[in-house]
Structure 1
Amino acid sequence: MRRNLILLLIGIFACSYSYSQTQIITTGNNVLNTSYPYAADIVIGSDANGGIRHDASIMWWNNESAARISNTADVFLFSVHNSSNPNIGLSAIVGGKSFIKGNLGIGNTDPRAKLHLVGNGSSINTVDGLSGDMVIQGNSPGRSSTIGAALEFAIPADTDGTNMWGQARIITVAGNTNTNNATGKLILGTRRKFDKHTGTGETWNYGDDIVIDGAGRVGIGTSSPDALLSVKGAIHTQEVKVDMKGWADHVFNPAYSLQSIEDVESFIHINQHLPDMPSEKEVIKNGIKLGEMNKVLVKKIEELTLYLIEQNKRIKQLENQINP
């Protein structure tokens, strides 16, 4: 091994003498072999008695700053260092774990956050394939309605930053099982203890709180919205504005045919509700449309006003007859 090291150093000095830049040229035949850790074109390190591995590193030094690739035990490090601010840029640990200390920029040389991604922008128009600046892929077993790709947000329970728990999640699942129709479904929910699967009791789960289905319909409190916005539960708001097509003021048109009060009485007796109004059975089954219902209510108020006006005329006529 010492002979090989001497030959390598002679080669480096020879290249440095012959060219303005040091070069190391290898055959490239030593491909990676997981069963033999030294199967590489250049190996830096040594084995002590008993095969104990020693740490090794390559350093680039300039004045008081340095960049270094090194390993210590089972940890691989890429780091930059100066006399006042040592910083590990990248670490990979045997077993698949890795971390980056500091900000990471992707498509960006001046990252302003822990992860700062800069892409070319994504079109809002429909495109085939994966075209987003960042893609989170979930390898579910086929097109599943319950397993997909998720982004989870976590907060520690303890003051020292440990005991981490997920708090909220954005997950996408298949909107259908058709392999030729890649319609999606988006679900947003918070983690809490509740009876998610009715009848099984309260357990810790993510709620399916806001759902956007494959038709673009939004559900709140329901995973199967049947309108552009479906809400299962109460709504508290300061104002609701409903666009209308037409209104009930045609009742005051002189050409409007007002039912006699006797006909209204007969209709009520037979149907148990006012004309033009839905029955209780219909309301329970289909609900009501606020805009249309307000339109009908205004119509009934206007008709009632006409009845009162007519009644007032008759009362005055009677008063005139009684007191000429």
Structure 2
Amino acid sequence: MKRIFLAGAFMTYALFTQAQHTFDNRGNANVGIGTETPNDRLEVIGRTRLTRTDSLKAVGQLLMTSSDGNFLLAGSSMPSGAWNNITQAGDQALIYSGSNYGTGNLVIAPWSLVEGGSGMRLDKDGNVSIGLPFSAGYKLAVNGAAIFNRIKVKPTANWPDYVFHERYPLLPLSVLEIFIKTHHHLPEIPSAKEMERQELDVAEMHQQLLKKVEELTLYIIQQQKEIAELKTKVAAIHH
């Protein structure tokens, strides 16, 4: 009987002394694991593992819900240059914020590109860069090829319909010929050397090309009138 009593006393002592840091439920309804003073509904000190036992993959291993729809992962203290991540093993997806990317920036990249790599970056100003460490002031910067099913450009002022106004100063073809022989490019169109030094504004270039097409149309109409006049003169001579 004494042995049973001693064994029970020893187990009681172990539960209330040695295990007191493992589980703690205070009067404020906070639960702590590894701490005697939990400050939240659940506070865990130490590493935590959540594991599924079934083979069904339709539902994830961790589900978090909140009334406001917010999901937050953060460290209790973030020293200078530190970063947080959501990742998988084997060089899979990685989301992090590193010291090389400034404050408030989010990077999605493979593990091998941590701290200085490219991947995709969203900065605090809403600028996105893909394949580049920084967006260089653009809302979207892409280093590489991109394909789109459709692109829309915002309304552009000064569309070159003014070319068809009666008072538009269309260059004579003789003057245009001299300009081309001298500069080796069309007026108002950047030269090859200029394009090597500066960026191409697609909307502006499209506007300039349309202007040249409209000017070319005027030249064709002008030439057609001259051809018609020559035909009339030739016909009059033969009669």
- Normalised by the size of structure 1, how large is the TM-score? 0.53
What amino acid sits opposite 2:85 in the alignment?
A
CA apart distance, 1:96: 4.2
The residue number in structure 2 matching 1:159 is none
Counterpart mapping for 1:1-324 below 5 A: 44=12, 96-100=46-50, 114-121=61-68, 133-137=71-75, 141-142=79-80, 144=81, 147-152=82-87, 154=88, 164-174=89-99, 175-176=101-102, 183-191=103-111, 204-205=112-113, 208-226=118-136, 227-246=138-157, 247-324=159-236
More helix by share: 2
Residues 101/151 of structure 1: CA separation in 2 closer, same or farther (3 Å cut): closer
Alpha-carbon distance between aligned partners in 1 of 2:188 and 2:214, rounded to the nearest angstrom = 13
The residue number in structure 1 matching 2:29 is none
CA apart distance, 1:187: 0.7
Alpha-carbon distance between aligned partners in 2 of 1:185 and 1:138, rounded to the nearest angstrom = 19
More strand by share: 1
What 5-or-longer segments of structure 1 have no aligned partner?
10-37, 47-55, 58-70, 79-90, 104-111, 123-131, 155-163, 177-182, 192-203
Question: What percentage of aligned pairs have identical amino acids?
Answer: 26
Determine if contact 1:210/1:219 at 8 Å carries over to the other structure. Answer: yes
Q: How many residues are treated as equivalent by the alignment?
A: 202
Partner secondary structure for residue 135 of structure 2: coil
CA apart distance, 1:235: 1.0
Alpha-carbon distance between aligned partners in 1 of 2:76 and 2:186, rounded to the nearest angstrom = 56
Alpha-carbon distance between aligned partners in 2 of 1:222 and 1:100, rounded to the nearest angstrom = 36
For 1:146-192, what per-residue CA distance to the aligned partner results, in whole angstroms no more than 9, with x for missing partners?
Answer: x411111x2xxxxxxxxx5241101113544xxxxxx322111135x
Partner secondary structure for residue 189 of structure 2: coil
Alpha-carbon distance between aligned partners in 2 of 1:135 and 1:282, rounded to the nearest angstrom = 49
Determine if contact 1:173/1:184 at 8 Å carries over to the other structure. Answer: no
What amino acid sits opposite 1:99 in the alignment?
R
Residues 150/101 of structure 1: CA separation in 2 closer, same or farther (3 Å cut): closer
What amino acid sits opposite 1:150 in the alignment?
N
Between 1 and 2, higher relative CO (CA 8 Å, sep ≥ 6) is seen in: 2
Determine if contact 1:189/1:209 at 8 Å carries over to the other structure. Answer: yes
What 5-or-longer segments of structure 2 have no aligned partner?
25-32, 35-44, 54-58
What amino acid sits opposite 1:134 in the alignment?
L
Determine if contact 1:244/1:291 at 8 Å carries over to the other structure. Answer: no
Alpha-carbon distance between aligned partners in 2 of 1:187 and 1:274, rounded to the nearest angstrom = 44
Determine if contact 2:113/2:119 at 8 Å carries over to the other structure. Answer: no
Residues 238/167 of structure 1: CA separation in 2 closer, same or farther (3 Å cut): same
CA apart distance, 1:234: 0.8
